[in-house]
Structures are given as structure tokens and as C-alpha cells.
């Protein structure tokens, strides 16, 4: 398995690796066709593509964390909408950093409420977050009856400044690498796999779950800020599509919906893929009904390919499972694995 082929095989069967590959393919198609059509490829095109992707990336990562923990969260779209209209209606001229902190706190608070209902109220997460979603989307319209308002200019220009988007993405990747290896990170994966075992080990499972809900909420808050920055205004309906796209990004990123496994980096590229698809369709001149069909099929392709290869992977791992001699003899040898 340590042959070059083996390693390539490993990348392809690994969710994250596959997401990256799929994304790279789409990007190549897009940019190559773009450059052959009229205007060439300039940095600003890619820059604005990344800026547009940022909110989805951050929100989807929030969703991913909750899913890794073995729970479900539909409230992202609601939080983002509320944050967006709050900024546009009242915080338009506030200190941008304060805005970021406040909005992440707001998101975190909503995450806390979700978590309390799920963990203490013993209600299914999907049901609770569906309810909070409806509530939050309503609140958004109450706060901002019609699109208007402005976003702190520093935020707007800040996010658009060259290399900021790339910078944020790099930061996200590093942050994930660290979080994954932090205690909370390990516990998150553990809960997703077997909360009972963690409980028996004497660890505060509920507290950890709550923590993840809060972190996810805070990330939605941040996503709301980023979206506001790219919309430069408030619109109560602007975030509606996040309800489903966040999950699509997570799935394309190779995170299984069963808990205990998954990767934020995969999700990051899942989100980038989702936003690359329209670009590809555009350069192909795909419009009208074919647009929806092609989009659907590409998403299916991404996900099914993932499911398919991981299916084979499982089968192999079954066959390659190691021997063990429980007597104190030769050591057990098997593929070591980290989370995700």
C-alpha cells in the first residue's frame, strides 16, 4: 500500500482528497474555457469567486462540525439572515471588529439555545433547528422589512482586498488542523462515534455537545458577517439558499452523515466546488432548464463517486484486517489512521 499507486489510491478514496480533485477538475475546465472566450482570466475574477465562496465555506464548516458530532443543524440559514439584517439595519457604522465579535456571539448564543433544547430538552436536533430556522427567518424580516442598509465599509473593502480571501482560507485550514488535534476536537469525533463510551469514561458529554453547537453557531455568525460584506447591504431573504447548500458542501467534502468522521477541509473544497459549478455551466453556455439538470447531476456525481469509492475502501479494509495474537507475542500491525 505504500507504493506511489497506493498513495494515489488513498487520496482518491479519502473524502478530502476526492473533493480537492473534483474541484481542481472543475477549475481547470472553467479557467481554460474562460481564457479562450473573449476576456482572459484575471486575478480579480478568481478573487471575487473566492470572496463569494467565503460565507458558504464558513457556514458549511459549522454544519460539518455538528454532523461530525452525530447531530444535525438546519439553523445556519436563519442565523446568517438575522446577522445580515442586524448589521445592515443598526451596526452599519460600528467598529467592524466589534461587529464581528458581536455577531459571532449572537450566533453562538443561538447555537447555545439549539443545544439546550436538543441536549436538555431531549428533542431531535433536526426538529429543533428546523423550528429555530423558521423563527430566525421570521425575525430577519421583522428587523428589516425591505432590503436596505449598509455594511461597515472597512469590512467590505477588507474582505475584497487582494489575498484576504486566500488568507482566510489558509487560516481556516490551519485552524482545522489544530482543532482536530485539540481535546475538544478529539472529543467531538469521539461523541460522533460513541457518546455512551465517552460518558462511561467520565467525560462531560453534554457539555462538549453544547460547546460544538455554540462553535457552529458562532461560525454561522461569522458567515453572516462575510455574506454581509459581499452583499454590502441587508436582505432578509438573501441567506435562504444556505439551508441546503451548506449540507451539499459538507457531503461533497466527503463527510459522512453518520457522525464520527469528516473533515472541514473537505467541506471547504466542497463549498468551492458548489460555486465553481455555475461558472463551468456559464462558460459552457448552459442556460435555462439544462442549468438545473446539469447542476443536480454534477452534485450527484461528486457525492455518489465519494460514496462509491468509500464503499470499495470499506470492503478492502474488511479483507485486509490484521491478525491479532492476544498472547504477548508479535505486535498487531495495521494501517494507522488519524481522524478524517
| Residues 97-116 close enough to bind other proteins by CB under 8 A | none
Would you say 185 and 179 are in contact if contact means Cβ atoms under 8 Å apart? Answer: yes
Q: Which of 248, 265, 268, 272 binds other proteins (CB under 8 A)?
A: 248
235 binds other proteins (CB under 8 A): yes
Taking the complex as a whole, how short is the minimal distance between the CB of residue 75 and other proteins, in angstroms? 10
Taking the complex as a whole, how short is the minimal distance between the CB of residue 133 and other proteins, in angstroms? 7
- Under the phi-then-psi rule, with left for phi > 0, alpha for psi from -120 to 50, and beta for the rest, what region is 339? beta
- Under the phi-then-psi rule, with left for phi > 0, alpha for psi from -120 to 50, and beta for the rest, what region is 122? left
Query: Measured between alpha carbons, how far is 84 from 75 in angstroms, rounded to an integer?
Result: 14
257 binds other proteins (CB under 8 A): yes
Nearer to other proteins by Cβ, of 4 and 48: the residue is 48
DSSP 159-172: HHSTTHHHHHHHHH
Q: Which of 2, 3, 4, 337 binds other proteins (CB under 8 A)?
A: 337
234, β-bridge pairs: 148
DSSP 41-59: --HHHHHHHHHHHHHHHHH
Q: Which of 103, 198, 222, 272 binds other proteins (CB under 8 A)?
A: 198
- Under the phi-then-psi rule, with left for phi > 0, alpha for psi from -120 to 50, and beta for the rest, what region is 42? beta
Taking the complex as a whole, how short is the minimal distance between the CB of residue 128 and other proteins, in angstroms? 7
* Binding segment toward other proteins, per CB under 8 A, in 103-111, 166-174, 206-214, 237-245: 237-245
286 binds other proteins (CB under 8 A): yes
Would you say 170 and 108 are in contact if contact means Cβ atoms under 8 Å apart? Answer: no
* Binding segment toward other proteins, per CB under 8 A, in 12-20, 208-216, 217-225, 283-291: 283-291
Taking the complex as a whole, how short is the minimal distance between the CB of residue 15 and other proteins, in angstroms? 12
Q: How far is CA 157 from CA 151, 169, 297, in A?
A: 10, 17, 36
User: Residues 130 to 149: which contact other proteins by CB under 8 A?
Assistant: 130-149
319 binds other proteins (CB under 8 A): yes
Taking the complex as a whole, how short is the minimal distance between the CB of residue 80 and other proteins, in angstroms? 12
Taking the complex as a whole, how short is the minimal distance between the CB of residue 300 and other proteins, in angstroms? 4
- Map grid coordinates 494501517 to a residue: 335
Nearer to other proteins by Cβ, of 101 and 113: the residue is 113
Nearer to other proteins by Cβ, of 4 and 329: the residue is 329
Q: How far is CA 80 from CA 33, 84, 139, 232, in A?
A: 34, 6, 12, 14
User: Residues 4 to 23: which contact other proteins by CB under 8 A?
Assistant: none
28 binds other proteins (CB under 8 A): no
92 binds other proteins (CB under 8 A): no
Nine cell digits for residue 322: 490484521
Amino acid at each position: 500500500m505504500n507504493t506511489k499507486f497506493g498513495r494515489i489510491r488513498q487520496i482518491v478514496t479519502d473524502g478530502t482528497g476526492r473533493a480537492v480533485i473534483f474541484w481542481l477538475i472543475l477549475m481547470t475546465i472553467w479557467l481554460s474555457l474562460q481564457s479562450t472566450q473573449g476576456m482572459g482570466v484575471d486575478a480579480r475574477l478568481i478573487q471575487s469567486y473566492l470572496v463569494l465562496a467565503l460565507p458558504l465555506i464558513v457556514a458549511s464548516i459549522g454544519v460539518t462540525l455538528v454532523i461530525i458530532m452525530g447531530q444535525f443543524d438546519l439553523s445556519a440559514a436563519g442565523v446568517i439572515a438575522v446577522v445580515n439584517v442586524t448589521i445592515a439595519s443598526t451596526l452599519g457604522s460600528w467598529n467592524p471588529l466589534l461587529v464581528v465579535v458581536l455577531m459571532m456571539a449572537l450566533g453562538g448564543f443561538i447555537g447555545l439555545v439549539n443545544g439546550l433544547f436538543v441536549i436538555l430538552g431531549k428533542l431531535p436536533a433536526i426538529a429543533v433547528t428546523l423550528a429555530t430556522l423558521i423563527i430566525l427567518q421570521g425575525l430577519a424580516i421583522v428587523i428589516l422589512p425591505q432590503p436596505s442598509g449598509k455594511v461597515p465599509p472597512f469590512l467590505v473593502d477588507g474582505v475584497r482586498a487582494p489575498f484576504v480571501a486566500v488568507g482566510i482560507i489558509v487560516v481556516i485550514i490551519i485552524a482545522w488542523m489544530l482543532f482536530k488535534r485539540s481535546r475538544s476536537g478529539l472529543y467531538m469525533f469521539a461523541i460522533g462515534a460513541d457518546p455512551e463510551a465517552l460518558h462511561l469514561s467520565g467525560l462531560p458529554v453534554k457539555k462538549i455537545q453544547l460547546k460544538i453547537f455554540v462553535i457552529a453557531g458562532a461560525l454561522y455568525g461569522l458567515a453572516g458577517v462575510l455574506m454581509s460584506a459581499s452583499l454590502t447591504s441587508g436582505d432578509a431573504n438573501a441567506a435562504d439558499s444556505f439551508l441546503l447548500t451548506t449540507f451539499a458542501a459538507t457531503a461533497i467534502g466527503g463527510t459522512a452523515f453518520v457522525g464520527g468522521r469528516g473533515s472541514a477541509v473537505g467541506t471547504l473544497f466542497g463549498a468551492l466546488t458548489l460555486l465553481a459549478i455555475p461558472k463551468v455551466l456559464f462558460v459552457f453556455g448552459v442556460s435555462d432548464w439544462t442549468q438545473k439538470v446539469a447542476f443536480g447531476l454534477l452534485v450527484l456525481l461528486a457525492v455518489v463517486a465519494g460514496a462509491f469509492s468509500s464503499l470499495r475502501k470499506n470492503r478492502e479494509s474488511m479483507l485486509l484486517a490484521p491478525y491479532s495474537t492476544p498472547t504477548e507475542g508479535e505486535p498487531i500491525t495495521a494501517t494507522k489512521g488519524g481522524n478524517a
